[in-house]
Structure 1
Amino acid sequence: MATLTVHTGRIIDNITRLESYLSRQGVQWTLVTKMLCGYRPILEKVLAAPVIRRLHSIADSRISNLKMIKSLHPDLVTMYIKPPALEQVANVIRYADISLNTTLRTLEALNDEARRQERTHRVIVMIELGELREGINRENVLQFYERTFNLSHIQVSGIGTNLGCMYGVEPTYDKLIQLSLFKQLIENKFQQKLELLSGGSSITLPILPRKKVPRDVNHFRIGETAFLGRELDSGKRFQNLSTAAFDFSGEIIELKTKDSSPDGILSEAAVGQVADEPTETAADAPARRAERCILDFGELDVDVHGLKPKDPGVRFVGTTSDMTVYEITKEKHQYRVGRRLHFEPNYIAIARLMNSRYMTKTVV
């Protein structure tokens, strides 16, 4: 059966290395665990590591995952990293110590619920800096903060922004200095200290050693690099982190030599995806035959385009809902039915696998 193997020791080592590196830079950071989909066996091991107590907080974008984190370690500070839905306000107050916000109506609802639960809820107000995802418009910043500061059970902990996630807007110095200037403006206008300037994520890490992050940016929200050990833009290893915390493997359920092109009239009814095949230059060129294997996973389980075969002699051919085909390009190999092909999964592939109840997860 197709299996995702998770090496928690390597994840913990990555977190430890990142914490040491960022603390030297004067940056606090939040570990974003949403890729793990609240999977208890992994969270139990990772969150028990001593280094976790040195982080600012643990973040997720799913209430159920934060609930799991709080059930394991009630003392950990948790962060809800998307603007809350109104119907989830009670759970946000219950399971998240901090949330990211962009809407006054939501903040007022959070304030009312925090009063009912006799708590003070911390918030980071997100500013729109060009990524066009969550964030209040820049011309409304002062008015927004003025009303937020007046909410009795809301503590404004900081200001933040999201860059690079949807359109890929780069976190340049010019973008981040705008956030820094807004922080100074708010603090001077209202005589209120903002603890956090949350302007960094995994995509910002590579520019930190190049001194392209303003000094005021003192908080990062990091998920992908902590788990996969790579820079988001280049794919290169970051600061000697492990890039082998996750291994995905599928079992070979068929291995045969077949034609490289389908035979018959092709329709639009196919539900699968296929790789682009080279076009034959000669009209009467003979059909190429190749050794192909079928593996026991498909689109229902994983984003197959997020899987990189560890064997360079293996090439993706196509996939359907529950089977995926690869071509073995080298003449001599050890593959046969029952053996496994191994892959390096990317962020989205891992998230899909973690969310699939059909895939085996092995936690090491």
Structure 2
Amino acid sequence: MYPLLEVHLDIIGENASKVLRLCEGKGIDVVGVTKGCSAFPEVAFVLLEAGIKILGDSRLDNIKKLRRAGVACPLMLLRIPMLSEIRELVELADMALVSEISVVKAINEEARRLGKFFKVILMIDMGDLREGIWPINLLSYLDSIRSLNYVELLGIGANFGCFGGVLPTPESVSMLINYASLAREYTLSDIPIVSVGGTVALQLLEEEK
């Protein structure tokens, strides 16, 4: 008998609704991540039906699969793209995490070629050491990004609970919010998103921290 994987879409939908209620009560938007199920389209549609408005994945092949399945919502690449991926990224997705100016400039050039605007979240390293710029370099990166015409700085983010196993704390989240406030003041722009990672941050919400 062949191995069989059962996917309970009703339970996934129920879990998504529960997370949404928890986050929306705190003014937090949720990105539904599809990489754990290899962007299985049925799961993606269940997440959207639950009320999630943005889907994210770390694999461009999965993002391509979602588009081919008819997923029309905004899609986010949940990692820093390679230069060789820029053309496909800008064609398929709407936003990505970034921490290299050379990558942001390449995104800007491809977006200019396609006549579209592309959103980026600038990652700051808060101790996990997976990705992100050093905080001391924030202002110089902001100068470089705001000089580009086809890239919009959507937010400031940090990665937690991955490479270094560093979990978010009220102190580290507060520090990240301060960096976002500094970015808004320096650029005189909205920069609406402060991204503090994935499910590792749920415990802070449940403990009301």
Please classify the TM superposition score into its range, dividing by the shorter chain length.
Answer: over 0.9
Q: Choose between structure 1 and 2: higher strand proportion.
A: 1
Could you tell me which amino acid in structure 2 is paired with residue 155 of structure 1? E
Deviates more, 1:76-85 or 1:3-12: 3-12
Q: 2:123 aligns with which of 105, 108, 126?
A: 126
Q: Distance in 2 between matches of 1:89 and 1:61?
A: 14
Counterpart residue type for residue 88 of structure 1? E
Question: For residue 4 of structure 1, what is the aligned residue in structure 2?
Answer: 5
Q: Report deviation, 1:183.
A: 0.8
% same residue: 27
Aligned position for 2:80: 83
8 Å CA contact 1:82, 1:100 repeated in 2: yes
1:145 aligns with 2:146: no
Higher relative contact order (CA 8 A, sep 6+): 1
Question: Which structure dedicates a bigger proportion of its chain to helix?
Answer: 2
- 1:158–1:196 contact (8 Å) kept in structure 2: yes
Provide Cα deviations, 1:14-65, integer angstroms capped at 9, x if missing partner. Answer: 11221122111211010111111133xxx2x233338447324100011111
Which amino acid is 1:186 matched to? A
Partner of 1:203: 200
Matched residue type, 2:28: V
CA RMSD of the aligned region, Å?
1.5
1:318 aligns to what? none
Equivalents in 2 of 1:160, 1:82: separation in Å? Answer: 11
SS of corresponding position for 1:124: strand
Structure-2 change in CA distance of 1:157 and 1:70 (3 Å):
same
- Summarize deviations over 1:303-337 as a string: whole Å, max 9, x none: xxxxxxxxxxxxxxxxxxxxxxxxxxxxxxxxxxx
User: What TM-score, normalized to structure 2?
Assistant: 0.94
Q: Aligned match of 1:184 in 167, 171, 181?
A: 181
Of the three residues 158, 164, 168, the one matched with 2:165 is 168
Tell me the secondary structure at the aligned position of residue 6 of structure 1: coil
Q: Counterpart in 1 of 2:46?
A: 49
| 1:131 and 1:164 in contact (8 A); partners too | yes
Q: Which moved more, 1:17-26 or 1:110-119?
A: 17-26
Are 1:15 and 2:28 an aligned pair? no
Whether the 8 Å contact between 2:17 and 2:50 is mirrored in structure 1 is no
Give the Cα separation in 2 of the matches to 1:53 and 1:2. Answer: 29
Alignment partners' CA distance in 2, 1:201 and 1:132 = 16
| 8 Å CA contact 2:13, 2:47 repeated in 1 | no
Alignment: residue pair count: 208
1:128-149 CA distances to partner (integer Å, 9 max, x unpaired)? Answer: 0110111011110011011101
What is the rounded CA distance, in whole Å, between the counterparts of 1:111 and 1:23 in structure 2? 32
Whole-angstrom CA distance in 2 between matches of 1:32 and 1:18? 13
Cα distance in structure 1, aligned partners of 2:65 and 2:7: 19
CA distance in 1, matches of 2:207, 2:184: 28
CA distance in structure 2 between the aligned counterparts of 1:170 and 1:46, rounded to whole angstroms: 27
C-alpha separation between the residues in 2 aligned to 1:29 and 1:181?
21
Please say which structure displays the higher CA radius of gyration. Answer: 1
Q: How does 1:1-364 map to 2 (within 5 A)?
A: 1-39=2-40, 43=41, 45-49=42-46, 51-52=48-49, 54-212=51-209
Native 8 Å contact 1:53 1:76 kept in 2 = no
Report the residue type matching 1:100 in the other structure.
L
In 2, the alpha carbon distance for the partners of 1:121 and 1:158 equals: 12
TM-score with structure 1 length normalisation?
A: 0.55
Q: Is the 8 A contact 1:15 1:51 kept in 2?
A: no
